[in-house]
Amino acid sequence: MDAALDTAGEGMFYAGTARIPRRFSSPTPFEIEFDLSRWGSPPGNEASARATAALSGGFPGRATFEPLGDGRGRIPLLDGRLQLRGKILTEGKEFAGDWFFDNQPGGSFRIVEKGIIFL
């Protein structure tokens, strides 16, 4: 799947892939394998600047998707410091919303089927 985070609602900040074993509409938590790299846009806010320092240019690693009910979910990364919180869309094929670093809003994110963000 394609994955992208923007900075303060502006340009792409981090981008890459997410490998998931099933749809986001799953009622049980599951592990996601990420391979995110720094993209071109500079940090647009405090949370983005702090995330840049903590991610050190990228995030190759695993995280757990946590369904929260009512079509929503959460993915904590970096021991919960970076959190993706959002809605499950397109019958579980997409997950999109806002990301936070140390509980400060950083921007938005999307995880969608491969080829939608990057051709």
**CATH code where residue 54 lies:** 2.40.128
Q: What is the pLDDT of residue 13?
A: 86
Count of domains for the chain: 1
What average pLDDT values come out for the chain (119 residues) when binned by 10 residues?
Answer: 89 90 95 92 90 89 95 96 97 96 95 83
Q: Which residues, including other chains, have CB under 8 Å from residue 101's CB and lie 6 or more apart? A: 47, 48, 50, 51, 54, 81, 82, 83
Q: What is the pLDDT of residue 115?
A: 84
Query: Residue 81: which domain range?
Result: 2-112
Would you say residue 21 lies in a domain? yes
Q: Of 111, 107, 114, give the one whose Cα is nearest residue 8.
A: 107
Would you say residue 117 lies in a domain? no
